[in-house]
Amino acid sequence: MPDTDDTYIYDEALGEWRPAGAAAAETAAARAPVRDAAGNILADGDAVTLIKDLKVKGANQTLKQGTVIRSIRLTDDPEEIDCRHDSIKGLVLRTEFVRKR
């Protein structure tokens, strides 16, 4: 018996039902690439360096220029990345303030 995925998603733009795998692949391909301040394309798991001192709201702390942030995760917004720092959990940075290592 073949292993098939019978899950379908309704595509409102096209007005038809599509296989879930095809819809997810098209969504990922249609998403604009996430770029850092220098124009380099970022991907999940990349390491970035801060290009400016940043005051972190709610943490009463400043991240200094040159700080390395490892294992970033891309978000739905191409101008923001989700990351973790040793002392700050759930940190979201704007891509205009980072450069890929």
Q: Could you tell me the pTM of the whole model?
A: 0.68
Superfamily for domain range 33-100? SH3 Domains (2.30.30.40)
pLDDT digits (tens, 9 = 90+) for 53-101: 999 988 889 999 999 999 999 998 999 999 988 888 889 999 999 999 9
In the chain, ranges of CATH 2.30.30.40 domains: 33-100
End-to-end CA distance of the chain: 47
Q: What pLDDT was estimated at residue 36? A: 96
Q: In what order do the strands lie in the sheet with 48-50?
A: 68-69, 48-50, 98-100
